[in-house]
Structure 1
Amino acid sequence: MAVHHYTGSCQCGAVTFEVDTDLDQVNICNCSRCQRIGAVWSFVPAESVRMVRDGPTTEFLFNKNAISHRFCPTCGVEAYAVGENNGQKMIGINVNCLEGVDPRSLSAKMVDGASF
């Protein structure tokens, strides 16, 4: 696969975005948050995401408070998260929220977030 343009949203549409990402590089994390919500993540530089509608959202921080998990307070869906990697702002897109994508058909890298 290569980088493609996708649209995505929470269930009610209060959070809507466009993203350019390569879905050959998705992650599934076993931390207490990701495992419970069944997230499949694609992490991209912030400039690869255009927020069409950004909420309001509610923030959830846990563990080392390094990733700002953002979810819609109306429908409860976590469409994205914000963090940093080597000083660069990154956005984690929950691939489950992308239109026309079946995340279960993707080959994902398993991340042992439970050990962090």
Structure 2
Amino acid sequence: MPYTASCHCGQTAFEFEGDIQQALACNCSICQRRGSLLWFAPRSSLKLLKPLQDATYQFHKHQITHHFCPTCGIHTFGEGKAPDGTAMAAINLRCVENIDLNAIPVRHHDGRAM
């Protein structure tokens, strides 16, 4: 199914395809503070609708690049690699248009233990 997502002001916008069956809520130091619900997809399934002009942030082992809009501050997605080396996107489902977050089961991940 195709989806469209954006930050609050619309400066960062993208489309992606997938079958969202569940979201991930992580309690690591950054995820807990930003309150995102994540869904993971191959990075190749994410198509930017505008050139990426965002702020990025990396911490801990610097394996994930977190993307934030420099205007409104919203975290739209992160980029990293799966254990097999596949480029992945961690999409913030709270940025996705026309999605019922209450209908999506949430799996809790203990990111603090990593």
Relative to the length of structure 1, the TM-score reads: 0.92
Q: CA deviation at 1:102?
A: 3.0
CA RMSD for the aligned pairs? 1.1
Give the equivalent residue in structure 1 for 2:5: 8
Give yes or no for the alignment of 1:31 onto 2:28: yes
Give the equivalent residue in structure 2 for 1:75: 72
Closer/same/farther in 2, CA of residues 17 and 23 from structure 1, 3 Å limit: same
Give the equivalent residue in structure 2 for 1:22: 19
Query: Are the counterparts in 2 of residues 28 and 41 from structure 1 also a CA contact under 8 Å?
Result: yes
Identity of aligned residues (%): 36
Q: CA deviation at 1:23?
A: 1.6
Q: How far apart in 2 are the matches of 1:24 and 1:32?
A: 25
SS of the equivalent of 1:76 reads coil
Q: How far apart in 2 are the matches of 1:75 and 1:22?
A: 28
Q: CA deviation at 1:63?
A: 1.3
In the alignment, which of 32, 56, 60 is matched to residue 59 of structure 1? Answer: 56
Give the equivalent residue in structure 1 for 2:101: 103
Instruction: Look up the equivalent residue of 1:100 and give its one-letter code.
Output: N
SS of the equivalent of 2:49 reads strand
In structure 1, the gaps of 5 or more residues are none
Q: 4+ residue runs of structure 1 moved beyond 2 angstroms?
A: 102-105
Query: Are the counterparts in 2 of residues 21 and 42 from structure 1 also a CA contact under 8 Å?
Result: no
In structure 2, the gaps of 5 or more residues are none
Query: Are the counterparts in 2 of residues 96 and 102 from structure 1 also a CA contact under 8 Å?
Result: no
